[in-house]
Amino acid sequence: MTANLPYRHTDDLFIDGDWTPATGTGRTLVTNPATEEVWGSVPQASAADLDRAVAAARHAFSGWRALTPTDRAGFLLRLADEVEKRAEAISHTNTWENGSPVAESSRAAGNAASIFRYFASLAGLLETPDVRPFPDGSGETVVRQDPIGVCALIAPWNFPINLVVAKLAPALMAGCTVVIKPASPTPLSVRLIVDAAVAAGIPPGVINLVTGPGSFGDALVKHPGIDKVAFTGSTPVGRTIAGACGTLLRPVTLELGGKSSALVLPDVDLDALSKVLIRTCMRNTGQTCYISTRILAPAERYDELVDMVTATIAAAKQGDPMQPDTVFGPAATRAQEQTVREYLRSGVAEGARATTGGDVPSDFDQGFFVKPTVFADVTPDMRIAREEIFGPVLSILRYSSIDEGVALANNTSFGLGGTIFSADPDRAFALASRLDTGSVGLGFFASNHAAPFAGRHDSGLGAEFGPEGLKAYLVPQSVHRRIR
């Protein structure tokens, strides 16, 4: 299949409405993880480039915030249409950057458009007056919501479009302007979102795109012209950013790692579970923050469940991510492949049993492929049961009572996702409140743009999506007045 890749080797950054040459000297190479071909590159921005991008965003802020929410919503709706027009290029660039199977990346543009449209639909929320009487009746307060200002948006490589758009859409709707820094392995696909914004007529300076390594992200976080940071990525980097923002008293939203569980009840319908297993527990070759990578199985159905999970994973096709029927692609980077293999070795060393896969050579003579792996006989103390792996690895643990299953699900420093599988929907719903996690799926998992996505504990601070996600880009102002 011929790939639709509008960008390969680029020398520019998007600042103040133009693609403008970077003045930094370094370059970041973009590698196709399925073939190991270096097929693209981007410049590493200099400190002066960063200053220019932040200044452009600052300059554009007064005009953008002065528009009515309905006017800004109009821009978001046009942007959504323009993103959809670029769906194939977005999908192919994404797949060449991080190896996401095209069945997954082909959803990116539609999902991004849907996020823009959802936040556009919240214009009315910003336009509805919020007036609160003084308790003694002597006056009233009008609570206004101001956009927070210039926002730094920093994204990881696993969903390079949607994890930018999850920040960009509410920021734009709120009246903020932005400087975006994509992850180094995936710097090209997001350029297509910028192109869509230009075609939608978004004014110069409202959106700026700069590329550079993690140290450049650090400089962006600490730049004096930034009013808020929105970050998705690993927990260690999130802690560093939280520390910097704490010192600066700079608002920050952090969407971090996870180690979520699928709590399988004894009455489970295994056929139904097998149909959603990969999407729920190994989506995007296991490189999804909220997936339920620990399966908690009732002792009386343990063997049956291990057999079903093993057969389902072993039967799913791994290979060229550009083929529409590919389920599992490669790891996104060589470093990620090595990390996952290290976990596979640790699982075996600690006594887990690989029922399929393991640290074996892949079926391919090139690419960062790791065989999708299922570990049975996993115990809660093992590293594979406690730490985020971020690869195609499932651990199956055993429990004897519901209380023990709930305790196992909560036995983690993270609190991002989780799922419950039961034939009894009321029982599953009641059990959700016992899981100490920001989101729970009953019989499946999918995030909903209209509802908050919020990690607890080591999984983050604050929320994205829903009105809560919009509020993260607003600051209130209370205007008190006497009632005559």
Rounded Cα–Cα distance for residues 191 and 93 (Å): 10
Q: Which CB, 333 or 422, lies closer to ligand NDP?
A: 333
Write out the binding residues for ligand NDP, residues 7-26 only, by CB under 6 A.
none
Q: Which region, left, alpha or beta, applies to residue 238 given φ > 0 means left and ψ of -120 to 50 means alpha?
A: alpha
Binding to ligand NDP by residue 233, rule CB under 6 A? yes
Output the smallest distance, CB 233 to ligand NDP, in A.
3
Binding to ligand NDP by residue 237, rule CB under 6 A? yes
3-state secondary structure the chain: CCCCCCCCECCEEEECCEEEECCCCCEEEEECCCCCCEEEEEECCCHHHHHHHHHHHHHHHHHHHHCCHHHHHHHHHHHHHHHHHCHHHHHHHHHHHHCCCHHHHCCHHHHHHHHHHHHHCCHHHHHCCCEEECCCCCEEEEEEEEECCEEEEECCCCCCCHHHHHHHHHHHHHCCEEEEECCCCCCCCHHHHHHHHHHCCCCCCCEEECCCCHHHHHHHHHCCCCCEEEEECCHHHHHHHHHHHHHHCCCEEEECCCCEEEEECCCCCHHHHHHHHHHHHCCCCCCCCCCEEEEEEEHHHHHHHHHHHHHHHHHCCECCCCCCCCCECCCCCHHHHHHHHHHHHHHHHCCCEEEECCCCCCCCCCCCCCCCEEEECCCCCCHHHHCCCCCCEEEEEEECCHHHHHHHHHCCCCCCCCEEECCCHHHHHHHHCCCCCCCCEECCCCCCCCCCECCCHHHEECCECHHHHHHCCEEEEEEEEECC
Output the smallest distance, CB 260 to ligand NDP, in A.
10
Binding to ligand NDP by residue 156, rule CB under 6 A? yes
# chain residues binding ligand NDP, by CB under 6 A: 31
Among 184, 208, 253, 437, which residue sits at the site for ligand NDP (rule: CB under 6 A)?
184
Among 64, 119, 368, 390, which residue sits at the site for ligand NDP (rule: CB under 6 A)?
390
Q: Which CB, 206 or 332, lies closer to ligand NDP?
A: 332
Q: Which CB, 239 or 480, lies closer to ligand NDP?
A: 239
Write out the binding residues for ligand NDP, residues 443-482 only, by CB under 6 A.
455, 459-460
Q: Confirm whether 255 is a catalytic residue.
A: yes
Q: Which CB, 211 or 355, lies closer to ligand NDP?
A: 211
Output the smallest distance, CB 230 to ligand NDP, in A.
11
Q: Confirm whether 281 is a catalytic residue.
A: no
Q: Which CB, 288 or 312, lies closer to ligand NDP?
A: 288
Binding to ligand NDP by residue 255, rule CB under 6 A? yes
Among 154, 171, 179, 278, which residue sits at the site for ligand NDP (rule: CB under 6 A)?
154
Rounded Cα–Cα distance for residues 447 and 255 (Å): 14
- Residue nearest ligand NDP, CB atom distance: 217
Binding to ligand NDP by residue 439, rule CB under 6 A? no
Binding to ligand NDP by residue 232, rule CB under 6 A? yes
Q: Which CB, 213 or 467, lies closer to ligand NDP?
A: 213
Among 79, 90, 416, 474, which residue sits at the site for ligand NDP (rule: CB under 6 A)?
416
Write out the binding residues for ligand NDP, residues 50-69 only, by CB under 6 A.
none
Binding to ligand NDP by residue 258, rule CB under 6 A? yes
Site track 204-223 with ligand NDP (rule: CB under 6 A), x = hit: ---------xx--xx--x--
Output the smallest distance, CB 348 to ligand NDP, in A.
23
Binding to ligand NDP by residue 252, rule CB under 6 A? no
Active-site positions? 255, 289
Binding site for ligand NDP (CB under 6 A): 154-158, 163, 181, 183-184, 213-214, 217-218, 221, 232-234, 237, 240-241, 255-258, 289, 388, 390, 416, 455, 459-460
